[in-house]
Structure 1
Amino acid sequence: MARNLTRDMTNGSPTKLILKFSVPMLIGNIFQQLYNMVDSIVVGKFVGSDALAAVGSTMSILFLIFGLTFGLSAGISIVISQYFGAKDYENVKKSFATATYIVIGASAIMGVTGFLLTRTFLELLNTPDTIINESEIYMKIAFAGILGIACYNGMAAVLRALGDSITPLVFLIIASILNVLLDLLFVVVFGMGVAGVAIATIIAQMVSAAGCTIYALLRVKLLRMPLREFKPDPLIFRKCIRLGLPVALQNSFVSVSLMALQSVINSFHAVVIAATTVVNRIEQLVLQPSMSLGAATASFTGQNIGAGQIDRVKQGYRSSSLIIIIFSLIMLPIMFFGGEAIMKIFTKQEDMEVVRYGVEGIRITSFFYFFVGMIFITRNFLSGTGDIHIPMIMGITEVICRVLFARLMAANASIGFRGIFWATAFTWLVTGFLGIWRVATGKWKGKSVVKNSV
């Protein structure tokens, strides 16, 4: 059996395997963030702060809908990685076929729901009248293109479960370059504004989805099967839903907390909204190493828990945690002292007030990068073992903390807009500790879906 693009992670140094797997993912995730960052830079530089605020005000809602499909992809990845680690290749094929139906069905439902409820969502978030129409345009176009996002992430999740983090990277780079070119074409040349960046993004995402899928099917024989066999398996379907639904709900809980925070942000003027939009874009980039390392930890953990190698699972967790500590210590001075220069990349020269607000925010949250890094590590570690209920509880914790802290702090006149950033920082702190505690208890052992029937 040819396994051209797959990687068995049940043998070899855990640290080397995790780093080797996560580096291509990191590069890919950085390019994926370019979708949103380029949108922000182009509208901020060539349209203005109101357009920048309009794009930023949609992010929490988009993540709510997209997060549900991403969560289902995560459940699929857990099942496939554990079957692959157990060398049960027949069920790997069945899982892939089942996953295809889940991803397409879920994206259709979420896309239609989001498209129809766009205005309602924006009104619930108290989106200012000055930007709500442009926000609605951006969101509707994004929801119309959800299938491309879902298919790419679903295919990438399958390949990463098999140990391949290179193929998703290649097509993300292609799509990111295309996105930049189309952004400039639609906004600068054609003057399409917010609609232009949204259209550019969905075209690029569809290209990455189609390319990744076609190439993988041609190269990975493990994923190819006769069309008559390409049908959902009821048992595996239940396993994917049982594992994916809690992750999807966890993502939705995080999204709800972000929406609650966005509602607080929208109570301030457009300059604060623009500043928080830029800070969110910057920190999404800063957090990519933690996210990539977390995803690598999930694949490593899934394969090794499927193979019954508990000691290697523990070694992988320790290696990932050490890397997060080192990364956080490096990033603290860079972000604390370099925040102003980075903020200026996203803004016009006359928008110095946006820069000033953003720099204050970055200097607060940069001290808490370790804790958000450990959220990604512990959440993915627990998901990889099949212990999926605690990650969902971590999502609920984020909702409670972010809403509570944001409401209390932003309402305090002496704290003001800084309460937005303190709320995020304290949420990271509490949720990170919860994940660390759960791993330390060892209750995640014996949760393998390969050994436990549904």
Structure 2
Amino acid sequence: MKENTLNMTEGNPVRLILIFSVPMLVGNIFQQLYNLADSVIVGQLIGADALAAIGSTGSITFFFFAICNGFGAGGGIVASQSFGEGDKEKVKNCIANVAYLMFLVPAVIGTIAFFTAGQILVLLNTPESILPVAKSYMRIMCLSIIFVSLYNFVSSMLRAIGDSKTPLYFLIFSCFLNVGLDILFVLYFNMGVFGAGVATLISQLISGALCLIYAIKSNSYFKLSRQNLRVNFLLMWKCIKIGIPLSLQFSLIAISCMALQRVVNSFGAVAVAAFAATSRVEQIIHMPYQTLSAALSTYCGQNFGAKKYDRMINGYRKAMLMMATFTICMIPVVQIFGHGIIRMFVKETSVIEMGANAIKITSLFYIFLGMIYTVRGILNGMGDSFFAMFNGIVEVIGRFTVPFILVAIPVIGVWGIWWSLGLVWFMAGTTAWWRYLYMKKKILK
């Protein structure tokens, strides 16, 4: 079998970023189909309350997933820098040590999350009408944490060495499996929201296991000797040193999302359902930005390891131009077709009306959202752990303060939820830009 790797330290930056990005973008589209399948099938077949139950758990499960995924992302950065250095044995040892972290951390986090699910939902003021269903769904998601981490571990290691295609193949398979199981469990077995959760769990388990098996059989970097399997405390500490700030960044953002969810919950089931629908739309909008960020992170990681700093900055500038082009194209689409987009998720007119107006508000701030991701890509590739934590703190401050202020203003009211999202993107985007200018000056001295 052909080994897929991509050396991004030589060649045209735009071409390399696009070659790496396209499979990841397709993969991200299918990744979101997990969420869309649950939301559309549950929202259309069961109703708005069921959609609200799933939506009310989103920020909580994101918090627990974020802690685990931060370590995988940190390991991916170390692996990409090692690949840029041309040290194959170091890359192999990195893969083994990240594997240890990605088994232990999710096992602990998943256990804690499972047993505290009910208390957390109550703390977030989840409406009583959806609380039992939300608790059931959240516990299934907690059980799936270790399986999601398995897939994310393999995919982050493959992407670090330039292989963005292999994770895509198994993600597509997993997505179709998830949709099929969703229909089977929800429509034919009448298992409701619980069935949607089980479908996601099973599909994540199968895709993660198959992706790992394929990587071991087809990629020489995954063919580990006994020497490669040794615990390397220095290498593991480097992964942890980068991974902890990334975990803090992701988890702090998740905590801020939970704070926002509590505000949303206080406005009742219609607002919760509308927020759940708009969150799914925003996840789709995030995809190209996330893809560009991940591609830029690998590109910059390899070039940082190779000490090609001018090349790294040139790639970042081209990525910013690509981000701006996408943003300009997406804003009118959301403004014109907002009602039709929300109608895909629910039938209730009140939810459609609120959701459509909401995404029109947030679309005005997409450029700052794109800025966050693009700057994050270059800084993560450089291993700038301070930025990750700082960026998370900025979002926490924004989401803990701005929504409460805006919704308290009578003329704004519930719409303050979505205005606050845009303003927080503005805060995080501008502070990220400041950090980039500082780091650019530092490395070019």
Q: How would you bin the TM-score normalised by the shorter chain?
A: over 0.9
- Other-structure match for 2:51: 52
Maintained 8 Å contact 1:3/1:221: no
| C-alpha deviation, 1:411, in angstroms | 1.7
CA shift at 1:437, angstroms?
Answer: 1.4
Q: Which residue pairs with 2:62 in the alignment?
A: 63
Amino-acid identity (%)? 43
What is aligned with 2:350?
353
Range moving further from structure 2, 108-117 or 3-12 = 3-12
Decide whether aligned partners of structure 1 residues 229 and 90 sit closer, same or farther in structure 2, where only a CA change above 3 A counts. closer
Per-residue deviation, 1:312: 0.7
SS in 2 for 1:287: helix
Equivalent residue, structure 1, for 2:403: 406
2: distance between equivalents of 1:126 and 1:414? 24
Alignment-mate amino acid for residue 154 of structure 1: F
8 Å contact from structure 1 (residues 254, 398) kept in 2 = yes
Checking the alignment, whether the CA contact within 8 Å between 1:243 and 1:386 is kept in structure 2 is yes
Where structure 1 has 5 or more consecutive residues not aligned to the other structure, the ranges are 448-454
- Residue 113 of structure 2 corresponds to 114
For the residues of structure 2 that align with 1:445 and 1:38, how far apart are their CA atoms?
46
Q: TM-score, normalised by structure 1?
A: 0.96
> How many angstroms apart in 1 are the aligned matches of 2:212 and 2:367?
35
RMSD: 1.3
Matched, 1:365 2:372: no
Match of 2:393 among 375, 393, 396: 396
Change (3 A) 1:127 1:11: same
CA distance in 2 between counterparts of 1:140 and 1:146 reads 10
Looking at structure 2, the residues matched to 73 and 432 of structure 1 have their Cα atoms a distance apart, in angstroms, of 24
Structure 2: state its 5+ residue gaps: none
TM-score, normalising length: structure 2: 0.98
**Local SS of the residue matching 2:95:** helix
**1:294 and 2:293 matched:** yes
Alpha-carbon offset, residue 225 of structure 1: 1.6
Once the two structures are superposed, residues 288-329 of structure 1 have per-residue CA deviations (whole angstroms, 9 ceiling, x without a partner) of 000000000000000000000001110111011001100000
1:232: how far off? 2.2
> What's 1:193 paired with?
192
- Rounded to whole Å, the distance in 1 between the matches of 2:159 and 2:323 is 21
CA offset digits 1:19-76 (Å, max 9, x no partner): 1111110110110111111101011000011110000000000010000111111100
Aligned to 1:184: 183
Three-state SS of the structure 2 residue aligned to 1:20 is helix
- Tell me, in whole angstroms, the C-alpha distance in 1 between the residues paired with 2:28 and 2:226: 32
Q: CA, structure 1 residues 170+232, in 2 after alignment: closer, same or farther (shift >3 Å)?
A: same
Please show how residues 93-112 of structure 1 align to structure 2 within 5 Å.
93-112=92-111
Q: In 1, distance between residues paired with 2:213 and 2:295?
A: 23
- Say which SS state the counterpart of residue 16 (structure 1) adopts: helix
1:276 pairs with 2:289: no
Say which SS state the counterpart of residue 130 (structure 1) adopts: coil
Displacement of 1:231 in angstroms is: 3.1
The aligned counterpart of 1:77 is 76
Instruction: Report how far residue 226 of structure 1 moved.
Output: 2.6
Q: After TM superposition, what 4+ stretches of structure 1 lie above 2 angstroms from structure 2?
A: 226-229, 441-447
For the residues of structure 1 that align with 2:308 and 2:283, how far apart are their CA atoms?
33
Residue deviations 1:168-215, cap 9 Å, x none? 100000000000000000000010001000000011111110111111
Structure 2: how far apart are the matches of 1:74 and 1:444? 25
- Aligned twin of 2:425: 428
AA partner of residue 382 (structure 2) = T
Name the counterpart of 2:232. 233
Deviation of 1:399 after TM superposition, in Å, equals 0.6
Measure, in 1, the Cα distance between the counterparts of 2:442 and 2:67: 26
Aligned to 1:452: none
The one-letter code matched in structure 1 to 2:192 is G
| Pairwise CA distance, 1:446 | 4.8
The offset of 1:287, in angstroms, is 1.3
